[in-house]
Structure formats: structure tokens, C-alpha cells
Structure 1
Amino acid sequence: MKYYIIAGEASGDMHAANLMKQLKQRDSDAFFRVWGGDKMQAETNEMVRHFKDSSFMGIFNVLWNIRTIKKNFTLCENDIMAFKPDVLILIDNSGFNLRIAKYVKLSKLHTRIYYYILPQAWAWKQKRVHTIHQWCHRIFAILPFEKEFYKSYGYEVDYVGHPILDAMEQRKPSLVNFKELKKEFNLSEKPVIALLPGSRKQEIKTKLPAMLKVINHFPDYQFVIAGSETLDLSFYKNYLDTDVPIIFNRTYDILNNATAALVTSGTATLETALFRVPQVVCYKPGYVTYKLLSRIVKIKYICMVNLILDRMAVQELIEGDLNEKRMVKELNLILKGEKRAQMLKDYNELEVKMGGPGASARTAELMWEDVSRKKTVKPQS
């Protein structure tokens, strides 16, 4: 089978790569052509474009790069037509992927279209559920509440569990302890507070400077920045006025040895929770963007942990609340005491709700069964 897979950022790259490994186990003739990152590149036959050259976050950033985005659409559409895949797998990245899904569905290609790791239609633009269902043959949900959400609109989806559990399970044997981490990166003996400012330039630009302001309030701790593998050290140094270690592509090792964390909203909040690290969630999209989003977003929380538990288990500091005074206060509350203990209890409940590892294998099995049944369609020209 010929597979075309599109992922738009770091977590999607990781989950897509794990899915590819599972598909290879079921399809000995699997051939992959992808848009993604380093992890997908390690599993693929042909890489079209790295997401660091095609991923834009935020309303104004998208508008600023609209010409590049249009060129990417055209490149992707033409490339798919030339490749003629049996299967198109879309990973998150809804602004790009839904247009591609529509294009392929309306084409003369006999391509099965699967959406894995769904757009957050439950948060905003809820009517996208109709669009997703219209342009995709099968939909795979990774969050427990997504199945009921789609069912409320009359659509069935396959709930497969969250693939982050697979990624963590794979990494457990190779995780380093504090002694090893300290030696490798010349850290001190002080307990670690992890800073996870995100993986995209725009995220880091808005959140890292705010996070760094708390450092002087915690002299008994050392702060460590989890650096993104897609960015250079020189980029981070633009925002550093103090000597803070930056460790690239080792987020799990950092979390494995952290006492607490300041975390950008997104998948990282789940990873932090599953490592049992108390956290404060930071979100600062910019005043104008925040005002626009506040009018259209339909959810009570921005943190995945809170969304799954349906309560404020983790403190969210949004826009104006993401300031030095509030961060210091909330960080103090989770370093010791009752709030820290309660958060750790909430994390236990979270893991039960998310189910165990195996999402990648379950998704690959369902995809392989589905596409195998459809092999009776007439051959592509």
C-alpha cells in the first residue's frame, strides 16, 4: 500500500511515526510519503516537506505567511495527485488538512482518507464535525469525551485512546535518573523546575520571557528549559538574560527528574501529568487574539488535563493572569503542601480515564482492516 501522511507539529510527528511503525507490522509492502518532522523522516521512504518550513501558529502569523501557505497547498495537492496514494492519513493541523481532505475526496483518486488526532472542534468551530465527516472516510479519536461529542451530531468515530501513552511507554527503558542528567548537563544538586515553553517560535516568544521572571523567587531550585529539536540555541538566547540550562530533545528526561513545571498549554500538559509532575499551565496568545478567541471558544478550560477530568485540577494562567506575581504564587502552592498532594491524586484519575498504551496499534489495525476490505475497488489509473 502507498500511504501519504501529513502532520504539522512535533507531537503529531511523534504519533505519526509510531503509527507508521505499527502499519509496517501489518503491511509488508507499506510505502510512505510524508509531510512531517524528524521522527517521521526516520520511518519514511520519501519526505516532501518538514513541518518547520510549513507550520504557522496564530491568526496574525498565518496572515503574514499567507502566500507561503497557499504555495504549500498547491504543492501538496499536486504531489498527492502524482503519488496516487491508497491511503491519506491526516494528523491534527486542521487548517491545512481539511482542505487537503476535500481536494482528495473530490478528485478521481480511489484514496481512503483517515483523520487521526482530530481538530478541536469541541472547543471552537463545532460545526467542523460535519466537514470532517464529509471529507473523511473514517475518524479516529484520542480523547475520551470526543466520541460522545461526535455522537451528539449523529456521527460515529473510533475511540482508540491517547498515543502519548505509547510514546511514554517506549521511552521508559531509556529514561535517565537525576544523577545521570546532572552529570551529562552539568546541573547542580538543587531540585529541578522544568520550563516547557512550547515547540514553535511564536509560543516561545510569548511565554518563555514570562516564565523566566520567576527564577529569582526560587533560589533553592534550578530551572531547566526543555528545548525544541526544531529550533537552534541562538533562537532561545534572544530571550535569556540569565544562565539557564537548555536541554534539547530530552523533555521526558527533564520531566522524569522535575519537582514542578511551568507548561505551555497543549499535549505537554498531559505528558507532564503522566510523569506525575505538578504544573502551572501558561497561555498567552496576545491580547487581540485572546479577545477574538474568547468570543468563539466554547470550552471551560484550555488545559487537556482539566478537559479530560472536567474540573480545574491544574491552574491555568491565561493572557493577563500570566504575570510574575501569579506564577510565583501558583508555583509555591504546588512545590509543597495540600495543592500538590491533590494534583497528584488527580493525575491518577486522569491516567485511568485515558486508558492504557496501545493507541498506535489499535489505530493501525483498524486502518489496515478497513483499507484491506476496500482493495476490491477498481485500480487507479
Structure 2
Amino acid sequence: MRLFVIAGEISGDRLGGALMSGLNLLAPGIAYDGIGGAEMQAQGLSSRFAMEELSVMGIAEILPKYRHLKRRIAETAAAVAETAPDALITIDSPDFCLRVAALARAQGYRGPVIHYVAPSVWAWRPGRAAKMAKMVDHVLALLPFEPPYMEEAGMSCDFVGHPVVSEARASTSEGAAFRQRHSIDADAPVVLCLPGSRRSEVSRLAPRFDEALIRVRDRIPELRVVIPTVPGVARMVRDMTRRWPTAPIVVEDAGEKRAAFAASDLSLAASGTVSLELAANGVPMVIAYDMAPLSRWLIGMLLKTDTVTLVNLVSETRAVPEFLGANCRPGPIAAALQDLLEDPAQRAAQADAMAQTMIRLGQGGAPPGLRAAQSVLDVLQRRG
């Protein structure tokens, strides 16, 4: 069996690595071709070029590389058409992956196209599913409510579980050790501050998060703030927090980040999949987000749900308070943090919602990578 697998960024490489690990367990001897990073390469992929060439986001970043990316799309599609694999598996990165699939189809590829990570059509732009169905046969979904949307558009779809349920989590003792390392009193409240992983997010959200946390610290002087971040924005985060009366603890190491989650009492986070990471670690949260005025207006016009927080959506509750767009203001955010810290009933409601979310995302079942692998093999079996 020969599979052509494409991932365009680190998160996709993780999904691809877990998928390929599952495939190697269930169907040893698969020959892999395509594009991926270290985790996919560790499972047997020889990447045609460095995955990092595709890891660009935003118009400002893409425009200077447009011709190069267009050439890589053409090269990759030609390779798929020429090698005629048993399946083409594309992982997230739709701007690259789905263009490759469409072009490969146009050049004669007739095997199944399987896309890993469904587009968020339940939230906005439902037409994307219909467009995707023109070149995709089957979807591997991360969220349990996504298959009906994909099937309605004409694709088969399996919910395979979210990778967050398989990620390592720190123990209570590791959380206590984190507090000791950073001289945090055992009874001092600790809040995680997560203003995003992109420079545009951090520059827009960090000042508001800063002001909200200052207001909470005015009432609770012993409050300590921990900011888990990534290398690309770590210096920016440190520069922006130099004026804080009590310096936050900024951590980049993956193990130290896990320990920080275990050491924390609550969190203030940008909207996104980080809410699932917080839920997996049982950290109560307040979610906030904003964007440029034009983007805010467009998203507001297209948004189909009354919440964007995944914990709220998956648990079918509204236990997590969120402050989006014009509501992303320090005063209301600070008040919500204060309420969450002081109200046991709110924390209990969130704990129930977070536990329900993890169960519905696949916690306690087969690992998502293995479920995804079985879904791929089922598609190939149906296709003969």
C-alpha cells in the first residue's frame, strides 16, 4: 500500500505522526510519500521538501512567498498524479492541501482524497464544505458534532477524537514543584494568562489582559500570573510585561508549561483550541478575543453560533464566560475572573462542562491517531 500524506504546519505534523503510527500498527509495510515534519518522518515519511516552507499565515506573510507556494502546489499535485498512491491524505492547511487535491484530480488522480480536520462550517462560512466536497471524498473530524455537516455536503466523515485527550498532563505533585521553583506560596492564587501564539494576537490582546489582571491584583495582591508562550512571541511577551507591578512568570519549555497548568487556579485565554487544553487539565477559564475592526465586522456578519468557545460547544453548555469583539474589555474580563475565583458554584459548573467535553472528545477510548488510521483503512476497503 502506498499513501501520499501532506501536512503544512506543526499541529498537522503531530496529527500526521499519530495517524501514521496507527496505520503502521494496523497495516505494517505501508510506503509513505508526501510532505511533513519530524513526527511524520519518524513514522517513515521521506518529505519531498521542508514542511516549514508551508508554515506561513496571513496576507502579509503569504504575498512575498506566493509564487514559491504556487510552484510547490504544482510540484506536489504533479507528484500525486504521477505516483498514483492508494490514497491522498491531506492534513489541515486547506489553502495548500485542497489546492493540491484539486490540481491532482485535474491531472488524472483517481484515488480517494481524505482530509484530516473538518472546516468550522458549524461556526461560519458553511459554503466551504460544499466547495471541499468537489475534491475530497472523506473527512476525519476532531469534534463530535462535525460529521453531519460534512455528510450533508456530500462527503463521508468519521469522528476520530481530538488529540488533546492523548496529550501528556502534569500531576498535582509536578504543579506543587512548579510553585516551589518559582517561589509561589502554596495558598497564593495563580492565573494562567494565554494571549495567543501569533504576534498580531499578542499585540492586540496582551494590553487588555494586562489591564484586567492588574484590576484583579489590586483586590488580591498575592495573585501570581504565569504566561506560557512559544519562542516566536516570547521576547514580545517579556517586553510587554516589564511594566507590571509584579513580574509574571514566562515559560517556554513544554514540560514547564504542563507543570504551570497543574499549578494554576484559573486562566484568562484567547479564544481557540487552548480552551480544550485547559479543560483537559481542569483549569477554570475566562475566554476573550478581538481582531481588526474589518475582520470583526465580517466575522460578526457570518458567525452562526452564540459562542465560539469549544468547551461550551462540545459540552452543550455556556459554562465558560467569553468576551469577544467590542466586549473584549478589561473591566468586564476582570469582573468575570474575580467571580470565577470567588464563586465555587461557577467553578463546579465549569468542572462538569470540562469533564463532559473530554468524554465527548474521546477520552477513555482508543487514541485518536488509531481511530483515524482505522477510518482510513475502512475507506480503502470500501474502495476495493
TM-score (norm: length of structure 2): 0.84
Q: How does 1:1-381 map to 2 (within 5 A)?
A: 1-33=1-33, 35=35, 39-40=39-40, 42-43=42-43, 45-47=45-47, 48-51=49-52, 54-56=55-57, 61-62=58-59, 65-82=62-79, 84=83, 85-153=85-153, 155-166=155-166, 168=167, 171-172=168-169, 177-183=174-180, 186-189=182-185, 190-216=188-214, 217-218=216-217, 219-228=221-230, 231=232, 233-241=234-242, 242=244, 243-248=247-252, 249-250=254-255, 251-337=257-343, 338-356=345-363, 357-358=365-366, 359-371=368-380
What's the offset of the Cα at 1:43?
4.3
User: Which AA in structure 1 matches 2:235?
Assistant: S
Superposed CA RMSD in Å reads 2.8
Distance of 2:266 and 2:41 partners within structure 1: 33
User: Which AA in structure 1 matches 2:175?
Assistant: F
> Percent identity among equivalent residues?
23
Q: 1:38 to 1:291 in 2, by over 3 A?
A: farther
User: Which AA in structure 2 matches 1:186?
Assistant: H
Please give the per-residue CA displacement for 1:201-255, whole angstroms capped at 9, x wherever unaligned: 32223223322223333222211111125x2633433423243222113443322
Distance of 2:360 and 2:17 partners within structure 1: 24
Please give the per-residue CA displacement for 1:322-370, whole angstroms capped at 9, x wherever unaligned: 2221221111111131222221122233233333343211110121343
Q: 1:77 to 1:25 in 2, by over 3 A?
A: farther
User: Which AA in structure 2 matches 1:323?
Assistant: R
User: Which AA in structure 2 matches 1:349?
Assistant: Q
Asked if 2 retains the 8 angstrom alpha-carbon contact of 1:114 and 1:138, the reply is yes
What's the offset of the Cα at 1:94?
2.5
Asked if 2 retains the 8 angstrom alpha-carbon contact of 1:280 and 1:316, the reply is yes
Distance of 2:269 and 2:35 partners within structure 1: 27
Asked if 1 retains the 8 angstrom alpha-carbon contact of 2:266 and 2:284, the reply is yes
Distance of 1:131 and 1:145 partners within structure 2: 20
- Equivalent pairs, count: 366
Asked if 2 retains the 8 angstrom alpha-carbon contact of 1:133 and 1:139, the reply is no
User: Which AA in structure 1 matches 2:160?
Assistant: V
Unmatched segments (≥5 aa) in structure 1: 377-381
What's the offset of the Cα at 1:122?
1.9
Please give the per-residue CA displacement for 1:135-191, whole angstroms capped at 9, x wherever unaligned: 11211222121122334445432122223212x2xx1478861233235x5342233
Tell me which moved more, 200-209 or 365-374.
Answer: 365-374
